[in-house]
Structure 1
Amino acid sequence: MHPFREFRGKNVDEAILLACQALGVEREDLEIDIVSMGSPGIFGLGAKKAVVLARRRPPAVLESLHDDGEDTPRLEDPTRLHDAASDAPEGDASESEDDEDDEMPPQGRAHSPEEMERLTKEVLRLLTPLLVPICGKEPAISVRQDDDGIIVRVDDEEHNGLIIGREGQTILALQYLLNRMLTKAWREAPRVQLDAGDFRARQIQRLRSLAQSLAARAKRSGRIQSTGPLSSFHRRMVHLALRDDTEVRTVSKGSGPLKRVLVCPNRRRTP
């Protein structure tokens, strides 16, 4: 197995890009460990570069990832974006790629009772063994379908903190593993979102706060503002939070399942 190599850049994306170029592979073919997110400093003083450790994935892992068509897991909390938010490049935001209607619910159709019954059985079979070492027992798990897709909720008030983990890392890792295992067991299985305690409600509130903050900056500066990479569910939260704000508009930019949301002022500030 290849050893990890260290790469540095102005931000994490640049460091990963340098790793891809140096190792001659695509991003999804790398194992990545983020050591430091970096810091822009104050007026350029005290700036610190982002640091990542990267290496090529073993062939067996590469084959599994390519068969599933999924990206490398991102275990950071996707709403922790205040440091990742940055000014977008100047220019017309209409240049963004394939801007799908992210305001639409991500779940394309309602699943039949038979499908939900099968999904519930698979979720219980796959998720319970992952949670028993954390909770010390089998926690209560429920599966429901709402406007935002399939929600799998774990009810164990005593161990909610352990299930969620620091900044949501544990629950996001569990969600990733659950979706991967579901796809292996049932190719047509819908993607699910894992929830425990008030984790999902806090995510939504933080995304709305971030959206309002970026909108205020866009209005004040007259410049386009950008989130970090977001899933379709989290992009939808940003779009909906600013839908009724006539002074800004939102556009998704990027390719693949993770895209940024640009918050664009409808009028540029006069110098």
Structure 2
Amino acid sequence: MKQERTTLEVIAPTVEEAIARGLNQLGLSQDQVEVEVLDPGSRGFLGIGSRHARVKLSVKAAGEPPVEVASTMPETGALPQVEEEGVAESGMPLGQWDEQKAVEVARRVVGELLDRMKVHARLRVRIQPPQEENAQSVVWVEIQGDDLSILIGRRSETLNALQYISSLIVSREMGVWVPLIIDVQGYRARRERQLRILARRMADQAVLTGRRQVLEPMPANERRIIHLELRDHPEVITESIGEEPNRKVTIVPKRPARRL
């Protein structure tokens, strides 16, 4: 079948997303096109000053060999999950760490990153004891100041990126993985309360209607709050569906709708 459109240019937040959108529009698989990256785009610094990627897809003639396009874009988000083999997803080993030293390193690292972003703020760094059985202590960094919404970003993307980068730097300096959470003027605590209320309300809706409720896309740390809030609920279960960054929590009723 002859293709009416032999080339297509696509703009998207990342190269991978641009390619996926182009393939969807053309109705072709990746081995049926040649991909030229016209502009790889830029995430800027912690998402500030970012630029979209631009790619061109050219439909191949029949019989041309496939071309592999490798992914080079890193992911950012909340704290990386820890694997059972004793190594954090970042590649850092797990183990004991000096809490006082970790506090000092975290204060310096986060302070230097904020200076690079030209953000003037105050830092309060403390150790948060384990909140669950078999959990680790966490270095908690509270950022306080005026008009710090730029540090949160859409769906807390900037805050999660700052937290992830800070965690990597602190852990490399410590030589062991150090769990670290960054909050901005109590945002995470407020957001957690909102998510817990949302979880209970949507669970009630699922029970009442007998239909699964699909929540908005959330980062991993926020999905975890929903799962934990409803893990002991007698009438619903929760599960995550989709791919990052659009992964969502669904709340599924265990029984049909109640009869009114």
Please classify the TM superposition score into its range, dividing by the shorter chain length: 0.5 to 0.7
Partner of 2:119: 134
| Alpha-carbon distance in structure 2 between the residues aligned to 1:257 and 1:194 | 20
In structure 2, relative to structure 1, the CA distance for the partners of 1:248 and 1:16 (3 Å cut) is farther
In structure 2, C-alpha distance between the alignment counterparts of 1:150 and 1:24, rounded to whole Å: 47
Structure 1 segment 179-218 matched on structure 2, within 5 A: 179-186=167-174, 188-218=176-206
**Is the aligned partner of 1:18 residue 2:21?**
yes
Kept after mapping to 2: 8 A contact 1:183/1:189: yes
Post-superposition shift, 1:161?
4.0
Separation in 2 of the partners of 1:53 and 1:219?
Answer: 42
Residue segments in structure 2 that go unaligned for 5+ positions in a row: 1-8, 24-28, 44-50, 56-70, 84-93, 132-136
From the two aligned structures, give the one with the greater helix fraction.
1
CA distance in 2, matches of 1:166, 1:251: 24
- What is the Cα deviation at residue 199 of structure 1? 0.4
Structure 1 residue 144: deviation in Å? Answer: 1.4
Cα displacement (A) at 1:123: 1.2
Contact in 2 for aligned 1:232/1:257 (Cα 8 Å): no
| Aligned-partner residue type, residue 18 of structure 1 | R
Indicate the SS of the match to 2:125: strand
CA deviations over 1:127-181 (Å, ceiling 9, x no partner): 111223211x6x2330313335524223434354454456644423321321233
Judged with a 3 Å threshold, the aligned counterparts in structure 2 of structure 1 residues 54 and 228 are, in CA distance, closer, same or farther, namely farther
Contact 1:7 1:19 in 2 (8 A): no
Are 1:32 and 1:55, in contact at CA under 8 Å, matched by a contact in 2?
Answer: no
Say if 2:212 and 2:253, in contact at 8 Å, map to a contact too.
yes
User: Residue 72 of structure 1: which of 52, 58, 75 is its match?
Assistant: 75
In the alignment, does 2:131 pair up with 1:143?
no
Please state how far the C-alpha of 1:192 moved relative to its aligned partner.
Answer: 1.6
**2-side partners of 1:32 and 1:16: how far apart?**
16
- 16-25 or 211-220, which moves further after superposition? 16-25
Q: What is the SS of the residue equivalent to 1:152?
A: strand
Query: Which runs of structure 2 are paired with 1:47-62 in the superposition (5 Å)?
Result: 53-54=52-53, 62=72
Q: 1:16 to 1:152 in 2, by over 3 A?
A: farther
Task: Name which of 90, 103, 108 aligns with 1:120.
Answer: 103
Q: Is the 1:165–1:171 contact (alpha carbons within 8 Å) kept by the matching residues of 2?
A: yes
Matched to 1:264, the amino acid is: V
Q: State the distance in 2 between where 1:196 and 1:164 align.
A: 7
Instruction: Tell me if the contact between 1:247 and 1:265 (Cα under 8 Å) persists in the aligned partners.
Output: yes
Match of 1:269 among 254, 257, 260: 257
Q: Distance in 2 between matches of 1:239 and 1:17?
A: 30
Could you tell me which residue of structure 2 aligns to residue 96 of structure 1? none
Please give the TM-score of this superposition, normalised by the length of structure 2. 0.55
The match for 1:84 is: none
Partner letter of residue 75 of structure 2? T
Structure 1 residues 161, 179: CA separation in 2 closer, same or farther (over 3 Å shift)?
same
Partner of 1:158, secondary structure, is: coil
Provide the alpha-carbon RMSD of the alignment. Answer: 4.5
**Is the 8 Å Cα contact of residues 19 and 54 (structure 1) preserved in structure 2?**
no
CA distance in 1, matches of 2:11, 2:185: 37
**Which letter does structure 1 place at the counterpart of 2:10?**
R
Amino acid at match of 1:6: I
Q: CA deviation at 1:270?
A: 8.4
Write the letter of the residue equivalent to 1:72.
E
Say yes or no: does 1:5 pair with 2:30.
no
| 3-state DSSP of counterpart to 2:98 | helix
Give, in angstroms, the shift of residue 211 of structure 1. 1.3
Cα separation, 2, equivalents of 1:266 and 1:222: 8
Normalised by the length of structure 1, the TM-score is 0.53
**Greater Rg, structure 1 or structure 2?**
2
Superposed displacement of residue 242, structure 1: 2.2
The 2-side partners of 1:225 and 1:24 are apart by 40
Is the contact made by 1:163 and 1:196 (CA closer than 8 Å) also made in structure 2?
Answer: yes
